[in-house]
Amino acid sequence: MMIMAEESRRPSGPGSDRRGGGRKGRQRKGREPMRAKPPQWIPRTKLGKKVKEGEITNIDEIFSMVLPIKEVEIVDKLLPNIKEEVCDVKLVQKQTDAGEQSNFKVTVVVGADGYIGLGEAKAKEIGPAIRKAMNLAKIGLIPVRRGCGSWECGCGEPHTLPFKVTGKAGSIKLQLIPAPKGVGLAVADTSKVVLALAGIKDVWSHASGKTRSTANMTKATWDALRRTMKISSMETMK
C-alpha cells in the first residue's frame, strides 16, 4: 500500500520525469541565443582612419598614392566581396634541442576582380595558421592589369592579360600568354585558382620545372600577375 501511495503522488504528464523532461523540455519562448558581437575596428594608422571616416572609398586611391596597407580591416571595408582560397597545407618539422617541433605551413590566396594577394604562415594548429596567412595575403594585396592582348580576339574587354608575362618560384618557370575570348583557363589546376580569383578568364600557359609543387606553382602564378604592373603603357601614363 505504501508503494501505491508514493506512485500516486508523482506528477504525471509530459516533462514530469526528472531524467528526461523537466528542464530540458522547457524552452524559453521569445528569446534568441546570445551571440558574441564582432570587435569594433579601431584604426591605428592614418590610412585606416581615412578609410573608416570615408575620405578614401576606393582601394585604387591607395595604390595610386603608393601607401602601405598595414591593417586587414582596410581591405575588408574597401573590398567586401574578396574571396579566400587555401592552396596548400604541409606539415613541416624542425629539429631543436628538445626534439622535433612540428608546425603546419599554409599557403592562402585572396583576390577580387583585378586584385590578388598571397600569404604564407606557420603555426602549431591549422586554424591559426590559416588566419595568419589570410591576414598576410590581404595586407600584401596587389593590383593586376587585365586587357585583351591576343591578336586573335581584339574585343577590347579585360578578359585576359595585355601581354605575355613570366613568373618564377623555385625551379618553376611559368609563362602566361593572352588567349582569345572563349578559350578559358588552359593552365594547371593550381594556377586556375589564382587566376580565377584575380578575374582572369582566358589564358594559355607554358611551365617548366617541378610543377607538382603546389606552393611554388601558386607563387609562380602570383609572381607572373605581379609583373603585369611592371610595364607601363600610354593609357596608364595618361
| Claim to verify: residue 139 and residue 176 sit in the same structural domain | no
CATH number of the domain to which 90 belongs = 3.30.160.20
**197 is a domain residue:** yes
Report yes or no on 188 lying in a domain.
yes
The arithmetic mean of pLDDT across residues 97-114, rounded, is 91
**Average predicted confidence (pLDDT) for the chain:** 85
Q: Tell me, yes or no, whether 109 and 179 share the same domain.
A: no
Q: Which of 113, 143, 173 is the endpoint of a domain? A: 143
**In the predicted structure, residue 50 carries a pLDDT above the cut 70:** yes
Query: Rounded to whole angstroms, how far apart are CA atoms 99 and 109?
Result: 32
Is pLDDT at 4 greater than 90 in this prediction? no
Domain span at residue 220?
165-233
Answer whether 163's CB lies under 8 Å from 235's CB.
no
Instruction: Specify whether 174 is located in the same domain as 98.
Output: no
Local confidence band at 98 (pLDDT 50, 70, 90 cut-offs): confident
Q: What is the pLDDT of residue 116?
A: 96
Query: Of 143, 178, 202, which residue constitutes the final position of a domain?
Result: 143
Query: Is residue 23 included in any domain, yes or no?
Result: no
Least confident interval from 4-8, 42-46, 176-180, 209-213: 4-8
Instruction: Decide: residue 65, CB within 10 A, 0-12 exposed, 13-18 middle, 19+ buried.
Output: exposed
In a domain, 13, yes or no: no
Does any domain span residue 225?
yes
68 and 114 co-located in one domain: yes
* HEC assignment per residue over the chain: CHHHHHHHHCCCCCCCCCCCCHHHHCCCCCCCCCCCCCCCCCCCCHHHHHHHHCCCCCHHHHHHCCCCCCCHHHHHHHCCCCEEEEEEEEEEEEEECCEEEEEEEEEEEEEECCEEEEEEEEECCHHHHHHHHHHHHHHCCEECCCECCCCCCCCCCCCECCCCEEEEECCEEEEEEECCCCCCEECCHHHHHHHHHHCCCCEEEEEECCCCCHHHHHHHHHHHHHHHHCCCCHHHHC
- Residue 2: pLDDT band (50, 70, 90) is very low
Question: Does one domain contain both 169 and 118?
Answer: no
Residue 1 is assigned to a structural domain of this protein: no
Q: What's the domain count of the chain?
A: 2
pLDDT by residue (tens digit) across 120-169? 999 999 999 999 999 999 999 999 999 998 888 878 889 999 999 999 99
- CATH (domain of 193): 3.30.230.10
